């Protein structure tokens, strides 16, 4: 099984180049000022210019307004990852306003009951992202993981990706348990919040390639 990869929260030319060099399928840019990984649309545009067309460029947002989405889209994004409390109605509105943009909806998972929200996004989102529930201001990128066994027998209503607490050492176990075909990492390739490590990016992408 070929597992695709997304490296999220990049903010420097060097880390973007490393992710591209080692085969990342998606690169994510965070547009949320409270995050240590946040970039401006102008900074994202500069970084996206060095990314080849075959690599998808995702913008990560938390309850964004259309003005921010428009400015970020102009940087060269190919998709929106919605990581806040966006309702089904709001996502429908975003899809109507930006019909050519792929939309991912992140779901915060702590127990099996949290998966009950997944079917609500059928026909609205193109993909669900299962991430660990957090208690603070930041909705993701905290290095936390949920019980992967929750996904073992789950019938997914949409294409999906796995996130939360992944790193080069546990990715094989995570994929074996969940059957994930797309994995998303941020803090697992950092030395401290927001500071990406090129060696960790390379090690993670190489570990996925061996699956």
Q: Are the C-beta atoms of residues 207 and 167 closer than 8 Å to each other?
A: no
Rounded to an integer, what distance in angstroms lies between the CA atom of residue 148 and that of residue 164? 10
131 has catalytic annotation:
yes
Q: Is residue 8 among the annotated active site residues?
A: yes
Return the closest-CA partner of residue 153 out of 182, 178, 116, 119.
178
Q: Which of 53, 65, 114, 131 is catalytic?
A: 131
CA-to-CA distance for 46 and 197, rounded, in angstroms? 20
Residue in 128, 133, 142, 90 with CA at minimum distance from that of residue 110: 133
Q: Could you tell me how many residues make up the chain?
A: 211
Give me the catalytic one of 8, 25, 167, 184.
8
Q: Are 123 and 90 in contact (CB under 8 A)?
A: no
Q: Which positions are catalytic?
A: 8, 131
């Amino acid at each position: 099984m070929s597992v695709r990869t997304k490296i999220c929260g990049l903010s420097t030319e060097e880390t973007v180049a490393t992710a591209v060099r080692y085969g990342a399928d998606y690169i994510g840019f965070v547009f949320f000022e409270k995050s240590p990984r946040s970039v401006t649309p102008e900074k994202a545009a500069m970084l996206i210019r060095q990314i080849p067309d075959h690599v998808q460029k995702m913008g990560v947002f938390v309850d964004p307004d259309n003005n921010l989405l428009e400015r970020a889209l102009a940087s060269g994004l190919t998709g929106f990852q919605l990581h806040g409390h966006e309702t089904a109605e709001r996502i429908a509105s975003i899809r109507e306003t930006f019909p050519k943009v792929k939309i991912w909806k992140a779901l915060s998972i702590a127990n099996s009951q949290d998966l009950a929200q997944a079917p609500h996004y059928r026909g609205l989102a193109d993909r669900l992202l299962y991430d660990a529930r957090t208690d603070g201001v930041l909705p993701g990128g905290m290095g936390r993981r949920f019980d992967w066994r929750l996904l073992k027998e789950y019938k997914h209503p949409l294409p999906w990706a796995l996130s939360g607490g992944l790193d080069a050492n546990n990715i094989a176990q995570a994929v074996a348990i969940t059957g994930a075909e797309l994995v998303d990492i941020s803090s697992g390739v950092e030395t401290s919040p927001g500071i990406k490590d090129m060696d960790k990016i390379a090690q993670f992408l190489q570990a996925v390639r061996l699956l």
